[in-house]
Amino acid sequence: MKNRSILCCPDSTVLFLLLFYSIMLRAVLGLFPYLGKDFYVL
């Protein structure tokens, strides 16, 4: 039943995963330069 429910609406799950991964990727890419600057300052 769970698999059927997921297959019935794959668009919402795919969009949610894409949004989550895009936010995580932006957060990681945005934090790396700041962490590098902090380490260089220390």
Q: What is the 3-state secondary structure (H, E, C) of the chain?
A: CHHHHHHHCHHHHHHHHHHHHHHHHHHHHHHHHHHHHHHHHC
The overall pTM is greater than 0.85? no
Domain ranges of the chain: 15-41
Distance CA 13, CA 5 (A): 11
Asked if residue 10 has pLDDT above 60, the reply is yes
C-alpha dist (Å) from residue 14 to 9, 17, 21, 30? 9, 5, 11, 24
Which residue is listed with tokens 């949610």? 16
pLDDT tens per residue, range 20-40: 998 888 888 877 776 666 666
The token pair at 17 is: 């995963």
The pLDDT value given to residue 14: 85
pLDDT score of 5: 56
pLDDT more than 90, % of the chain: 2
